[in-house]
Amino acid sequence: MMARRAVHRPVAWGVGLLAAALLAGCAGGSARPQPAELPPHIGLIGVRQAWTARLPAIDFPLQVGVQGQQVMVAGSDSTVVTLDAASGRELGRASAGAPLTAGVGGDGRVSAVVTRDNRVIALEGGRELWRQKLTTQSYTAPLVAGGRVFVLGADRSLSAFDGRNGARLWHLERPAEPLVLRQAGVLQAVGNLLVAGLAGRLVGVDPDNGSVRWEAPIASARGTNDVERLVDLVGGVSRHEGVVCARAFQAAVGCVDTASGRVRWTKPASGATGVAGDGQRLFGAESDGRVLAWRADTGDRAWANESLQWRQLTGPLVLGRSVVVGDSSGLLHFLSREDGTPMDRMSTDGTGIAATPVAAGNTLVVVTRGGGVYGFVPE
């Protein structure tokens, strides 16, 4: 039985946590499986902690924004902070004035978040530029690009706002469905195209007027109830030379040529977090904690790592010769890109990794649920 983590508005948040619990419940109705015991630590790559910073605790689906050497992070209370990734030095701090449900998007000048009272707020240099009321909840960090702010709604709507004054430029709606997924979706700029996840489809949208150029199905809704039919695309994605690969929640992974909208391939998969790739392979964590690699050209399985089962993993980051994932105990795991072999492990504050790790310049940045921000660099 495949698990689905769905919500009637509103719902509690967790990166893959409920999906993992549901999978466990399907496995014979017994107690939830315990996280796999970890093998002895073998440091095959040199990594050290370079700095730490603090935020308020995080209980929303944070996406860490990256622009060059800057990283943009936020706490649930409304705090938005920009840090220098090399040193951890704080470059700016602002408040959205209300608890957050989505963020942080930014272009290096303007940052944008969404609040629990359904408002998108643009910030610059520690001050608020503007705020606009949304017609729905949003759990995906706004995309700030080309002087505009784009917002993906939990109801599968898409809106564009003028980055200077917040004026609404256009709004794209899809038929409403009874359930929404309370985690980050797919919203990317690819060349002169806006690529968004709308239900189980990757959709190419004209950023100037909101017209749909193409639609590419990653997964189709199946099942006998609304929960089983939920196949929304989840962030993050892999992007390489015009090909975007994404995951449909607990259903499939697949890759699409964004120039034409042609689906290159799709494969069944049962994960609840996003994917990452390097042009040769696509990587993702399944809800039971297996980390899988697929060949980017065909979708055939390249390798599987089963040493992290039931550790409630984040989405992956491809970094050097490693694939990096975080877990619910606050550990970072470095796996070989070539075969999935464990290569190293680093610890944080033990409160669980709150977002997919990111790379900014030469620094690996991770954020914990307790509000710890950690910068790691090669030795």
The C-alpha atoms of residue 148 and residue 64 are separated, in whole angstroms, by 19
- Up-side HSE of residue 291: CA atoms within 13 Å toward CB? 31
Ordered by where they begin, the domains of the chain are: 17-378 (2.130.10.10)
Q: Specify the pLDDT at position 132.
A: 98
Q: Which residues pair with 72 in a beta bridge?
A: 65, 82
Name the pLDDT band for 26 (thresholds 50, 70, 90).
Answer: very low
Q: Does the pLDDT of residue 25 top 70, yes or no? A: no
Mean pLDDT of 194-215: 97
pTM above 0.85, yes or no: yes
Q: Specify the pLDDT at position 30.
A: 56
Name the pLDDT band for 226 (thresholds 50, 70, 90).
Answer: confident
Take residue 1 and report the two structure tokens written for it.
Answer: 């039985």
Name the pLDDT band for 229 (thresholds 50, 70, 90).
Answer: confident
Q: Specify the pLDDT at position 16.
A: 40
Q: What is the 3-state secondary structure (H, E, C) of 8-63?
A: CCCCCCCCCHHHHHHHHHHCCCCCCCCCCCCCCCCCCCCEEEEEEEECCCCCCCCC
Name the pLDDT band for 31 (thresholds 50, 70, 90).
Answer: confident
Give me the residue label for tokens 């290096």.
Answer: 108
DSSP 3-state assignment of 277? strand
Mean pLDDT of 40-55: 93
Mean pLDDT of 80-109: 97
Q: What are 266-306's pLDDT values in tens digits? A: 999 999 999 999 999 999 999 999 999 999 999 999 999 99
Q: Specify the pLDDT at position 178.
A: 74
Q: Specify the pLDDT at position 20.
A: 39
Mean pLDDT of 135-151: 97
Name the pLDDT band for 364 (thresholds 50, 70, 90).
Answer: very high
Q: Does the pLDDT of residue 19 top 70, yes or no? A: no
Q: What are 152-179's pLDDT values in tens digits? A: 999 999 999 999 999 999 999 988 777 8
Q: What is the mean pLDDT of the chain?
A: 91
Q: What DSSP designation does 315 have?
A: -
Mean pLDDT of 98-104: 97
Beta-strand pair 372-378/363-367: antiparallel
Q: Specify the pLDDT at position 12.
A: 31
**Residue 83 in contact with residue 70, Cβ under 8 Å?**
yes
Q: Does the pLDDT of residue 318 top 50, yes or no? A: yes
Name the least confident of 26-30, 206-210, 278-282: 26-30
Q: Does the pLDDT of residue 10 top 80, yes or no? A: no
Please give the residue that has the higher pLDDT: either 200 or 40: 200
Q: What are 246-258's pLDDT values in tens digits? A: 999 999 999 999 9
Q: Specify the pLDDT at position 346.
A: 97
Mean pLDDT of 182-206: 96
Percentage with pLDDT > 70 across the chain: 92
Mean pLDDT of 316-345: 97
Closest CA to 274 of 359, 336, 184, 209: 184
Planar angle of CA 317, 91, 56, nearest 5 degrees: 70
In sequence order, what are the residues at sequence separation of 6 or more whose Cβ sits closer than 8 angstroms to the Cβ of residue 224?
Answer: none
Take residue 175 and report the two structure tokens written for it.
Answer: 């038929």
Name the pLDDT band for 208 (thresholds 50, 70, 90).
Answer: very high
End-to-end Cα, the chain, rounded Å: 44
